[in-house]
Amino acid sequence: MQLMRVVLLISAESLDCFIVACTYQAPTRNYVHIKGKTRMKKSIIAIAVSSAALASVSVHAAEGSTVDVYGNIQYALTDKDAGSDAGSEFADNGSTFGFKGETLINDDLTAFFKYELEADADEKSGDVSVGLDQAFVGLKGGFGKVQVGTFDSIYNNAIQDSVDQFENLSFTNATTTEEGDTIAFFSPSMNGFEVQLSTQVTGDGETIPTAGADDLQTEDGSSVTGVVKYSTGALTVALGYDQNGNYTDVEETVGLSASYELQSNLNVTAKFETTSDAQDVVGLAARYGYGAGDIYASVQSISPDAGDDFNEYGAGVTYSLASNVYVYGEVGSFENASNSDTDTKTAVGVYYGF
């Protein structure tokens, strides 16, 4: 019988990190919560080994490289008085954890990455349910930035988010290309102008998330999005276009937003969106920083091509307990395009970032 001998080489630094990871009892804020369950036994060993590996990487990484671990825990108690989901609910509000880092290639070029996961933290479950939130790699330098992977829509960031600014409430927005399989370019600021371009390339016949039950990917398997921004003093204007090219039953969307800083702690925004053969959306928003947090409000009017116009209203306030911890309260009123029911929704929540 032949015996196999395996030699495990561990550096002194890695061994020290492993010992510390196995014996150190982290404070509550550093526990890993997945589906509301603090993983113990085998999972704690896995976490310890991972911590040791990360520490070893940090020790032996090439000069100019960094890796950060980050995340947040979010909870919200909501109440709705209309619709099929009427009633009160305590739920996770988008808790995430992830890794991000950079590597300096030379004086003019830096590589970067981000890998962020999302997991419900509001209820105990025997199964670990984790979904991808963002994941991308890229290069940045004097030319701007290029990245590829899964990340927020450049159209959504430029046009929709300033009016749909809530922690828990959600306004009606024009349809945009789903996240994923995307390549994007972000130019540097050129005399106040910035250009952002992205394309989703999924390949012919691939199944992707759809905007509606009857929307299927087109044969070319691509969709183009573009944003042009201009900033001068207190004014920022953005023009956005989303081809919605991966949907057969959704036409292109065009949007315009303008934000003005009335003073250092008070900003107002207006937006207009139109989706061909679907709807027009007009929105107004304001946000005021009062020192310990923000007070904010938004209103929208939606004019669908089929059906009656309807309106949405929302307001909220945040209060910071620390630089990485805040609580909030929100209330909104949502009319319905198909009937006379108006839904009033309230929410109170907490955010803890680490």
Is a pLDDT exceeding 80 seen at residue 118?
Answer: yes
Residue 180 has pLDDT above 60, yes or no: yes
pLDDT at 28: 38
- Residues in contact with 96: Cβ distance below 8 Å, sequence separation at least 6, in sequence order: 71, 72, 116, 117, 118, 119, 133
CA separation, residue 69 to residues 58, 279, 333 (Å): 12, 41, 38
- Give the contacts of 260 (CB within 8 A, at least 6 positions apart): 234, 235, 236, 267, 268, 269
The residues, ordered by sequence, that sit 6+ positions from 106 with a Cβ below 8 Å of its Cβ are none
Higher pLDDT, 348 or 124: 348
- Please say whether the beta carbons of 260 and 271 come within 8 A: no
286: pLDDT confidence band, cut at 50, 70 and 90?
very high
Segment 146-156, tens digit of pLDDT: 999 999 999 99
- The first and second tokens of residue 320, run together, are 């910071």
Q: What is the pLDDT of residues 315-353, one digit of tens each?
A: 999 999 999 999 999 999 999 866 667 899 999 999 999
Question: What pLDDT, on a 0 to 100 scale, did the predictor assign at position 222?
Answer: 83
Percent of the chain with pLDDT over 90: 60
What structural domains does the chain harbor? 10-60 (no CATH), 61-353 (2.40.160.10)
pLDDT digits (tens, 9 = 90+) for 15-69: 443 333 334 343 333 333 333 333 333 333 333 434 444 444 443 455 679 999 9
How far, in whole angstroms, is CA 291 from its chain's centroid?
25
Phi then psi for 226, rounded to 5 degrees? -145, 145
Q: Which of 95-99, 265-269, 340-344 has the lowest mean pLDDT?
A: 340-344
What pLDDT, on a 0 to 100 scale, did the predictor assign at position 209? Answer: 52
> In which band, very low, low, confident or very high, does the pLDDT at 13 lie, cut at 50, 70 and 90?
very low
Q: Is the pLDDT of residue 196 over 80?
A: yes
- Residue 93: count of CB within 10 angstroms of its CB: 21
Kindly report, residue by residue over 63-86, the tens digit of the pLDDT. 679 999 999 999 999 999 877 678
What's the CA gap between 148 and 187, in Å, rounded? 15
Angstrom distance (rounded) from CA 55 to CA 18: 9
- Here the tokens at position 139 are 């290069």
Distance of CA 144 to the CA centre of its chain: 21
Report the C-alpha gap between 149 and 214 in whole angstroms. Answer: 26
For 216-234, what is each residue's pLDDT tens digit?
Answer: 555 556 889 999 999 999 9
Mean predicted confidence (pLDDT) in 104-122: 93
Q: Cβ distance 96 to 133 under 8 Å?
A: yes
